[in-house]
Amino acid sequence: MVYNFSAGPAVLPKEVLQQAADEMLDWHGSGMSVMEMSHRGKEYMSIIEAALADVRALMNIPSNYKVLFLQGGAIAENAIIPMNLAALRSPAGKHEVGVADYINTGSWSTKSIKEAGRYCTVNVAASSADRKFASIPARADWKLSRNAAYVHICSNETIDGVEYQYTPEVAADTDGAPLVADMSSHILSREVDVSKYGVIYGGAQKNIGPAGVTIVIVREDLLGHALPFCPSAFDWKIVADNDSMYNTPPTYAIYIAGLVFQWIKRQGGVAALEARNIAKARLLYGYLDSTDFYSNRIAADCRSRMNVPFFLRDDALNDTFLAGAKERGLLQLKGHKSVGGMRASIYNAMPIEGVQALVDYLKDFEKQHG
């Protein structure tokens, strides 16, 4: 038995992989693999339409939002977002680039800020960099711009392990700027009120499926503002008008995402997964907090339920720890190189048994080396 704690690409539900294997050579009697189908044929159209309907139902996405499948991952979106939104407040037809507000809560926000700065003026409205990203700046301390084109957050910092436990309200301070959220590493792990966001986006390879597809959920009034130099394939309006088929979409990745959406429905939907994710996080943080052999330094009110970085008291034991974990089938626990230590990513597809196996190992290792 193996449990895979990778931060991404990450564990997928075994049932999904089994179904994909069963359907690999012949999808539903079509005589074709999904990989071999025209994206415009009736077989593939039924796959993508079901995936869209399922994710809309799972996230309760209002009808005035489009769901787009793009490529390039969340990192490409760091450029695509300002290219689509930076002129939001400019006079009609002028495409004047404005100010975008960003909240810096960790490695991924830092990257988003750097990239956006190539396309527009960035105001870092709040940052926890001086606290080594161990907490999220209180909403009351954000210095938002009255005329912001949009406000960007990373709602779960995969590397640093901080997660918003609420949706920040930004419209009142900005005369209605939309909230834009990078949800790559916690989308579908908890209930979210989509109507509070202008744009939600994420790469699939954490909680949705294989790498190669990016999901963008965008309110319709935010379409049609792209800067003139925005590549057509990244202009959300063009992509939306073409039902995500302006260019060939990543067909196989979308098919697997669709199987994951069906799996989530069978689990009882996002609320059921959220309850499980809370239990998993309690189990792991609870143990880490119970001993000074291990530590997690993130403020209790913003600890991520998905990505749990932790340290051994003695760094010199790291390699021994990882080798012993691997022997027990506990894989990919090494922390990100920028943070060090360990990181356990416990996405939707990680069962509580996997977290229990990790806690059992933490205890045994401490007994041996503490």
Ligand X SMILES: *Cc1c(COP(=O)(O)O)cnc(C)c1O
| Other Cβ atoms within 10 Å of 352 Cβ, number | 14
Q: How, if at all, do strands 151-154 and 199-203 pair? A: unpaired
Closest CA to 295 of 338, 342, 328: 342
Q: Which residues are annotated as a binding site for L-glutamate?
A: 40
R_g over Cα of the chain = 21
236 carries an active-site annotation:
no
Q: Which residues are annotated as a binding site for pyridoxal 5'-phosphate?
A: 108, 158, 182, 205, 247-248
143 carries an active-site annotation:
no
Of the pair 253, 312, the CB lying nearest ligand X is at: 253
Q: Least separation, in Å, of the C-beta of 175 and ligand X? A: 28
- Chain residue whose CB lies nearest ligand X: 73
Q: Nearest 5 degrees, angle CA 107-CA 210-CA 1?
A: 95
The angle, 0 to 180 degrees and rounded to 10, between the axes of the packed helices 42-59 and 251-267 is 40
Q: Which residues are annotated as a binding site?
A: 40, 108, 158, 182, 205, 247-248
Q: Least separation, in Å, of the C-beta of 81 and ligand X? A: 12
206 carries an active-site annotation:
yes
Of these residues, 27, 101, 108, 236, which one is catalytic? 108
Of these residues, 101, 160, 182, 235, which one is catalytic? 182
Of the pair 74, 362, the CB lying nearest ligand X is at: 74
| Other Cβ atoms within 10 Å of 131 Cβ, number | 13
Q: Least separation, in Å, of the C-beta of 92 and ligand X? A: 33
Of the pair 54, 182, the CB lying nearest ligand X is at: 182
Of these residues, 66, 101, 206, 334, which one is catalytic? 206
Q: Side chain identity at 26, as an amino acid letter?
A: D
What is the C-alpha to C-alpha distance for residues 181 and 1, in angstroms, rounded to an integer?
Answer: 36
* Residue 196: φ, ψ to 5°: -85, -5
Q: Least separation, in Å, of the C-beta of 253 and ligand X? A: 11
Of the pair 145, 277, the CB lying nearest ligand X is at: 277
Of the pair 89, 334, the CB lying nearest ligand X is at: 334
Per this entry, what is the length of the chain?
370
Closest CA to 56 of 48, 164, 182, 272: 48
> What residues make contact with ligand X under the rule CB under 6 A?
8, 73-75, 108, 154, 158, 182, 184-185, 203, 206
> Token pair of 249, please?
């979409």
Active site residues: 108, 182, 206
